[in-house]
Amino acid sequence: MLRNVFWKILFYLGMTSLGALVTAGQGVVSWRLDGQWVHPLWLNLLVGALGGALSAGLMHGISSFIVQKVAAGEEVALLNGSLVGLVGALFGLLGYAILELLFNPGVWLQLTQAGLVFFLTFLGFRVGYSKENLFLTLISGEQPSGLRESPKLIDTSVIIDGRIGDLVKTGFIEDGILIPQFVLDELHGIADSSDSLRRRKGRRGLDILGELRQHPGIHAEIFNRDYPEIHGVDRKLIQLAKELGAKIITTDFNLNKVAKVEGIQVLNINELANAIKPRFIPGEELEVEVIDRGEEIGQGVGYLDDGTMVVVENGRRFIGKKIRAVVSSSLQTDAGKMLFVRPKSEADGRGEE
């Protein structure tokens, strides 16, 4: 909180100073052109400071935007944008000087001069800030490292799952991963569990997290913010995503549903896995090992290599064997895709009939 207040105060002071410098600069330009001060320098500074403070108050939305950027860990981007914005403001002053050369300022232009200075300075600042990526790229020849797209928050389930490491390596998940401290604390708790299975999962999650942070192709960092008044890691994660405008990467079914209701974009790895599974059409053949009995009489159950459940009609007698089967239909559920097949020998027999 104090950190955000500091940056907001710095923003207002910067705008006030900029207003003072702009108006003083207008006096310098006028003195250079006419050989005398249009107004005393102290008056220019005073009016400029008041104008800068007023403009800072009117642009409260911009300050909120800056605080949000700082909260997301984008101080570097903010500083880059401010520097380029200052260059834009100087271009605004240059435009004003050109207008001074084109027009002979009279009494009726005195009021419009101040408006032009403010407008051109603000326009230059906004253009400079919005095009900071382009300007910095032209100057340095490379993309600024402090800038990234909206951050992605990861929860405990996706860390333990482990597939996020493979997605990062293949480039499907790009830069900007934040690991909230309360998620890391939960992961440590799982790794210290008395249950051996949970303990192994937690330690594997910590190993995967270490690999993510060391991966050269992605920037993953610990984000130290907590909400003591909010109970439950999922609720804290949703609150943090709202404040940062972030996406959530998860494999948790319930978190996925709640986050979508709250208007938060969710990247569900299970949904991605289901989306890229091969599609089968009725009549297509496949090979499956029947490993268990199904819910209905005579049914057998098997799984494909990608985890797709296969229900084999009249397949109970084939338990423990691999068979060729023909697809009858498929069913998509929240838990994944199911295929209904029948043994190829029966399908061929029905075809002959």
Q: Please give the radius of gyration of the chain, using alpha carbons only, rounded to the nearest integer.
A: 31
Q: What does the alpha-carbon distance between residue 3 and residue 70 come to, in Å, rounded to a whole number?
A: 9
Topology (CATH level 3) of domain 152-274: Rossmann fold (3.40.50)
Burial (CB count <10 Å: 0-12, 13-18, 19+), residue 254: exposed
Sequence ranges of the chain with CATH classification 3.40.50.1010: 152-274
- Nearest C-alpha neighbor of 338 from the set 303, 297, 287, 296: 303
Structure tokens that stand for 199 in this block: 């303990």
Structure tokens that stand for 303 in this block: 């799984």
pLDDT in tens, 287-346: 999 999 888 888 999 998 878 889 999 889 999 999 999 999 988 776 678 899 999 877
Residue-level pLDDT, tens digit, the chain, 353 residues: 444 455 555 555 565 555 555 555 555 444 444 444 444 444 444 444 455 555 555 554 554 455 444 444 444 444 545 555 555 555 555 555 555 555 555 544 555 655 665 665 555 555 554 444 444 444 444 443 444 467 889 999 999 988 888 888 887 777 678 899 999 999 999 999 898 889 999 999 999 888 888 888 778 888 888 888 888 899 999 999 998 888 999 999 899 999 999 999 999 888 888 777 778 888 899 999 999 988 888 899 999 887 888 999 988 999 999 999 999 998 877 667 889 999 987 766 554 44
Contact 233, 186 (CB under 8 A): yes
**CATH code given to domain 285-352:** 2.40.50
Contact 89, 119 (CB under 8 A): no
Sequence ranges of the chain with CATH classification 2.40.50: 285-352
pLDDT in tens, 335-346: 678 899 999 877
